[in-house]
Amino acid sequence: MSGVQWRLILSGPADGPTNMAVDEALLGSCGGGQSPPTLRFYTWSPATASVGRFQDLQEEVDLEACRAMGIGWVRRPTGGRMVLHDRELTYSLAAPRALFPAGVVDSYLAISRGLVEGLRLLGVDARAASPPQGRASLAGACFDTPSWYEVTVGQRKVVGSAQVRSGGGLLQHGSVLLEFDASRLVRVLAPGRRGPDPEALAEFLGRRATGLWQAAGRRLSPSEVAQALAEGFARALGVRLVEGGLSPAEAERAERLKRQKYLSPEWNLRPAPRPARGEG
């Protein structure tokens, strides 16, 4: 990929349905060759609980608590577990799947190298996690334990990612924590996921995840983190990033996906389907 030009999109804050619709639109256009491979950064307003496409949202998220706290919810097009998108920056990468290794784990590793390189530019000693197989998960939240080749600082997770492959395209997006509030996350979990001792669960999660503000010892703005991560991806993937925006066709498709899919109860509240091979 050395010297290849990619598009960089620096989006402003948006709600969950908008963010997921844009990511899916990019998966189609970039994966199909209508647009160049694209790296996008964005934030969420309001804060939003997202679940993986193979989860049942009502089994994972306390919708009444979300309403009371002003938190939205959405089902992602990717797999993975529940994430509370709050004080964070999200990255998404959409490209032809042929640009990355065929194996899911190997493609995660290739993308993680860009994240690690970018965080190190911020003075954060980040690493790609390789936990032992069979490690148990104690909660339904993404930041419970690191998965293969997700990004940690001092063995505490700081970036959680999820991926989907569709046709010839690959989409991976992930939550880059600025500040991690375990108690707020636990309040959003459905009662069955929260367990009998929410305070103990919050303490457990707080030992397993951290935010960049704590890791760097200073408050980093989303734009500062985005610029560093963009440089990290450019170096790790050997590409040149040129800032741009959505094409008219992408914007139109994203708006249609938002209305017809990501705002609909049929998508967000449907029973979870079984994952297809290679999706996660």
Assigned domain for 112 exists: yes
Q: Is the pLDDT of residue 160 over 80?
A: yes
pLDDT of residue 130: 67
pTM attached to this predicted model: 0.91
Q: Which domain holds residue 138?
A: 4-267
Assigned domain for 279 exists: no
The rounded distance, in Å, linking the Cα atoms of 150 and 193 is 23
- The predicted-structure confidence for 4-40, as pLDDT tens digits, reads as follows 999 999 998 999 999 999 999 999 999 999 999 999 9
What is the arithmetic mean of pLDDT over 99-120? 94
Assigned domain for 217 exists: yes
Assigned domain for 117 exists: yes
Assigned domain for 123 exists: yes
Domain count, the chain: 1
**CATH code of the domain covering residue 255:** 3.30.930.10
**What are the φ/ψ torsions at residue 75 (nearest 5 degrees)?**
-95, 135
- Which residue in 181, 189, 126 sits closest to 158, CA to CA? 126
Sheet with 239-243, side-by-side order of all strands = 126-128, 151-153, 156-166, 169-177, 88-96, 38-44, 4-14, 239-243
Query: Is there a contact between 226 and 89 (Cβ–Cβ < 8 Å)?
Result: yes
**Better-predicted residue by pLDDT, 279 or 40:** 40
pLDDT category of residue 145 using cuts at 50, 70 and 90:
very low
Which runs of E-coded beta strand occur in 107-261? 126-128, 151-153, 156-166, 169-177, 239-243
Assigned domain for 278 exists: no
- The predicted-structure confidence for 168-183, as pLDDT tens digits, reads as follows 999 999 999 999 999 9
Assigned domain for 280 exists: no
Lowest mean pLDDT among 45-49, 96-100, 195-199, 272-276: 272-276
- CB atoms under 10 Å from CB of 249, counted, come to 13
Assigned domain for 275 exists: no
- The predicted-structure confidence for 57-84, as pLDDT tens digits, reads as follows 999 999 999 999 999 999 999 998 999 9
Which positions are annotated as active-site residues? Answer: 142
pLDDT of residue 135: 42
